[in-house]
Structures are given as structure tokens and as C-alpha cells.
Amino acid sequence: MKLFSLTAAVCLLAATAHANHCQQYTEQNDIDECYMKIALDYALLHNPRFPFGALVVDHTQNEISCFGANSNRKNKLLHGETAAFWNCTELYPSPTNDDMSDPGLDWSHQTLYTTGEPCPMCAAQSIYRGVARVVWGTSIPDINRSGRQQLMIRMDDVIASARLGGNRPDHRVPVTQGGVLKDECDHAFWCSFSNFRDQEYHQSMIEEDQQVFIAKRDNDYQCVNVPFRKKL
Ligand SMILES: [Zn+2]
């Protein structure tokens, strides 16, 4: 199998295809939290040191299309969202070998769930891929304040930069929603990134007047097992 984690993704997909417990919900907020929980559990299972997990869900059918998790041991460019887009494209290839104009999945029916706000690379892929909606848990600023390197460009700013030819507005861009299951996602990143919070991090956070943030996170989020691991 040439694809990163595709076997695991297919197995998990097969396992959940028969019992997608998120289908019991009808309210959008409940559905979003349910799928985000799956994305987080998948991330913690697959790569607990970098718990960036993603799910692509057909929101017209309330069905999971594919999974992705940060796969940086295989290829550091495989962020969770990138892995999910590649897995979906492998699982649903273009029937006419023309992914540009005849993709195997109707991306206007898909929602991307991701534990962390997409970085500019993954935000750009979301636009190019044509996914209709993007939902995340932890924001880019909070991932950074947890100790991890980030490109500090928000997804909404990447989307705002999208233009059709002739500098026309591009309205076929994803709708975004952040902060879904934020507490659980924040908890995972805070514990998983503890090794990045070195002396230089703490010095910079003091200069940024962020001591209260650190104290609150340390108080709120116990890291009994590091990397943090939730039960599936
Ligand atoms: Zn990314």
C-alpha cells in the first residue's frame, strides 16, 4: 500500500461504517462535536505526540468519507488535513481520471473536521479541494501558545485572499467554524506539546504577558499520561 495510514484509515472507516453513532444526532452542534471527538480520538491513537486529526464527512448524508492524521514520521508535510484529502482522493478516485473537473467525491457536500485550525498550507488545500465547510477545535494562536511552531495566519485570512481571475471575488470558498470541542482539543495539544515548552518559550511568554495563560492551562489540564491519551 503506497499511501500513509490508508490501511488503518480503511479499517477504521469500515468499523465505523456499520455503526456511525454520530447519525443519532440532528442538531448541527451535536453532530459537529460528535465528529470532532472521532477526529481527536483518531489523532491520539495515530500520533499522540502531534494530535492533529481530521475527518471528512458528507454532511448531506451524515456519513464519514475518510480519515486523516498527522503522519510526520512518514512525511512531515502530511498534516492531518492533507492526509485526509489524500486518503479521500485515493478512496474515491475520479471515474474519468480527471480529478480537476470530475472528482470522485462531491466536495461541495463535504465538511472537514480538524482538531487544530488549518495552517496556511492546509487552508489553501481546503480552498483548492473545494470542501464546503471547515470545522476546527483549537485555534492557531492557542496551538502556538501551547508551545508549537505555527504560521500565524488565520484560515479566514487565507480564505479572504481567494480571488478568481481578474481579481474577482471567489464565493466558492469554505464556510468556517472554530472552537468545536475546544476544551478537549486544547487539553490534548497542551499535554502533547509539553516538551516544546522550554526555557526560551517561557521567557517569551513572560515578555508576552502570558503567565496567567500558562498557569490556567497547567491547572485545568492534567497530563496524567504524556503524551495525553483519551480512551476510545
Ligand atoms: Zn497544515
For residue 60, the domain's CATH number is 3.40.140.10
Q: Does the residue 232 lie in any domain?
A: no
Q: Does the residue 226 lie in any domain?
A: no
Q: Which three cell numbers stand for residue 89?
A: 482522493
Contact by Cβ (8 Å): 156, 176: yes
Q: How many domains does the chain have?
A: 1
- How far does residue 105's CA lie from ligand 1's centre (Å)? 21
Q: Has residue 60 got a pLDDT over 70?
A: yes
- How far does residue 24's CA lie from ligand 1's centre (Å)? 31
Enclosing H/E stretch for 57? strand 53-58
Residue 135's alpha-carbon distances to 92, 94, 115, 221, in angstroms, are: 22, 25, 8, 23
Which of the pair, 3 or 103, is modelled with greater confidence? Answer: 103
Contact by Cβ (8 Å): 66, 76: no
- How far does residue 226's CA lie from ligand 1's centre (Å)? 23
Average pLDDT across the chain, whole number: 91
pTM of the complete model: 0.90
Question: Residue 211: helix, strand or coil by DSSP?
Answer: helix
Question: What does the pLDDT read at residue 10?
Answer: 52
Tens digit of each residue's pLDDT (9 = 90 or more) over 171-227: 999 999 999 999 999 999 999 999 999 999 999 999 999 999 999 999 999 888 655
Question: What does the pLDDT read at residue 1?
Answer: 34
Tens digit of each residue's pLDDT (9 = 90 or more) over 67-109: 999 999 999 999 999 999 999 999 999 999 999 999 999 999 9
Q: Does the residue 111 lie in any domain?
A: yes
Q: Does the residue 227 lie in any domain?
A: no
Q: Does the residue 186 lie in any domain?
A: yes
Question: Residue 150: helix, strand or coil by DSSP?
Answer: coil
Backbone angles phi, psi at 60, to 5 degrees: -80, -25
Q: Does the residue 228 lie in any domain?
A: no
Give the dihedral sign, CA 178/81/103/87: negative
- How far does residue 122's CA lie from ligand 1's centre (Å)? 4
Residue range of the domain that includes 138: 6-220
Considering the chain, what percentage of its residues have pLDDT values greater than 90?
87
Residue 197's alpha-carbon distances to 48, 70, 217, in angstroms, are: 17, 20, 12
Q: Where are the alpha helices (DSSP H) in 65-198?
A: 80-91, 120-129, 140-145, 155-160, 182-192
Q: Has residue 19 got a pLDDT over 80?
A: no
Mean pLDDT of 17-36: 91
Q: Does the residue 74 lie in any domain?
A: yes
- How far does residue 216's CA lie from ligand 1's centre (Å)? 27
Q: Which three cell numbers stand for residue 85?
A: 484529502
Residue 174's alpha-carbon distances to 89, 110, 156, in angstroms, are: 18, 10, 9
Which of the pair, 13 or 141, is modelled with greater confidence? Answer: 141
Mean pLDDT of 51-56: 98
Question: What does the pLDDT read at residue 229?
Answer: 53
Mean pLDDT of 153-165: 98
Q: Has residue 135 got a pLDDT over 60?
A: yes
Mean pLDDT of 18-33: 92
Q: Which three cell numbers stand for residue 49?
A: 505526540
Q: Does the residue 55 lie in any domain?
A: yes
d(CA 77, CA 69): 11
- How far does residue 116's CA lie from ligand 1's centre (Å)? 9
